[in-house]
Amino acid sequence: MGRQQKDLKVSVIDLGFNSAKLANYNVDKDNSYTAYSQEGVTVRLGEGLDEAGHLNNESIYRTINALKLFKDIINFETTECVLAVATSAVREATNRQEFLKEVYQETGFQFRVLSGKEESLYSYLGALKSTCIPTALFFDLGGGSLEMVYAENFKIKKFISLPLGALRLSLSYGRMDDIFSRERYDKMKQHIFESLPDKKELDISPKAKLVGVGGTLRAIARYYNYNYCNQELNFDLGKKIRNCRLDYESIEKIHRKFYNMTPKEIARISDIGKNRASTITAGSCVIYMMMIKLGFGKIVASASGLRDGILSSFLECPSLYYRVKQ
């Protein structure tokens, strides 16, 4: 059984390859919860990681400043419990321990570094709370990695973690302040296609649906709703779209539109914004190639993901959550 005595305030910090995010929740006595505020800062912690193998000083400085802001917010909110997790950038860095020690000294936050498997499973758990789709190929597209979970009748069959994040690909194949050259774009597409698993490897049921989370997909869903249809969608805190359904043709059209625009032009689109303008072309390419390779004609965009999964797991069994080894 989970915690049951009184209402509780919980903050979840998600430190990724591209951004640091804070979600504050009110938790009721029955362990149901509602997010009442969210903050996100683009820190690009993983910038330069693929070349150097370690987190650079500038990225660390940006990240610690963002975490100090989160600390001030958490203190103001008088939050009783903070769950801080880090994903691909930190787990891949050779100076991971030094970074975590510095973060703790500067902010007091003790981060749990998730493995690729843990990141996949927590993201899937969070999305499942929202979508309740029994048989699905679920993915979480972040800045540094792509996490995939395949489940049949709510039973997990496979999970995969791939270094196909939107920022990582943008840094590797494109210039952050300009459009992709045709040569670099074609190389990126080929790399994504060859890196993705095929239908035989995943052994996907014909009944399976494609379900995704992540900032890239949510931004595409918002853009799709406002520009291509009059679909009535549900919104949660921060204008996140819940369970929007998009077809392959729309994903292809939107991706090709972004490919032909510069980041400055994309930044003027309110549904995308300047923080995602440099990475959404690469991120939308991952989604586009996934639908092609795996033969999905539609996709469901969920607003719930990693942070909701972390909170749900903690509420179910706090002692087990804290016993997981770093």
Tokens of 125: 């758990």
Does the pLDDT of residue 238 top 50, yes or no? no
pLDDT for the residue 230:
52
Confidence of residue 277 (pLDDT cuts 50, 70, 90): very high
Does the pLDDT of residue 110 top 70, yes or no? yes
Tokens of 189: 């597409």
pLDDT for the residue 7:
83
Name the residue among 144, 176, 89, 178 with its Cα closest to residue 286. 144
d(CA 116, CA 136): 19
d(CA 123, CA 251): 22
Whether residue 22 contacts residue 70, with contact meaning beta carbons closer than 8 Å, is answered with yes
Does the pLDDT of residue 219 top 50, yes or no? yes
pLDDT for the residue 271:
86
Domains within the chain, CATH numbers bracketed? 8-113 (3.30.420.40), 117-305 (3.30.420.150)
pLDDT for the residue 244:
86
Q: Is 325 helix (H, G, I), strand (E, B) or coil?
A: coil
Higher pLDDT, 216 or 227: 216
Tokens of 116: 């690729």
pLDDT for the residue 2:
47
Name the residue among 316, 317, 307 with its Cα closest to residue 130. 307
Secondary structure letter of residue 208 according to DSSP: -
Q: Residue 211: what residue type? A: V
Tokens of 291: 């639908």
Whether residue 281 contacts residue 187, with contact meaning beta carbons closer than 8 Å, is answered with no
pLDDT for the residue 273:
85
Lowest-pLDDT range of 38-42, 78-82, 226-230, 293-297: 226-230
If you average pLDDT over residues 52-65, what whole number do you get? 97
d(CA 37, CA 162): 31
1 burial level (CB within 10 Å; 0-12, 13-18, 19+): exposed
User: In the chain, what is the straight-line distance between the N-terminal and C-terminal CA atoms, in Å?
Assistant: 24
d(CA 240, CA 128): 16
d(CA 71, CA 134): 38
CA angle, 51 as apex, 47 and 55 as ends, to 5°?
Answer: 45
User: Sign (positive/negative) of CA torsion 155, 161, 162, 163?
Assistant: positive
Does the pLDDT of residue 289 top 80, yes or no? yes
For the chain, percent of residues with pLDDT exceeding 70: 92
pLDDT tens, 191-213? 999 999 998 999 999 999 999 99
Does the pLDDT of residue 125 top 80, yes or no? yes
Extended strands (E) in 50-192: 81-86, 112-113, 136-141, 146-152, 155-162
- Give the chain's mean pLDDT: 91
State the DSSP H helix or E strand holding residue 215, giving kind and residue range, or none if neither: helix 215-228
pLDDT tens, 3-33? 445 589 999 999 999 999 999 999 999 999 9
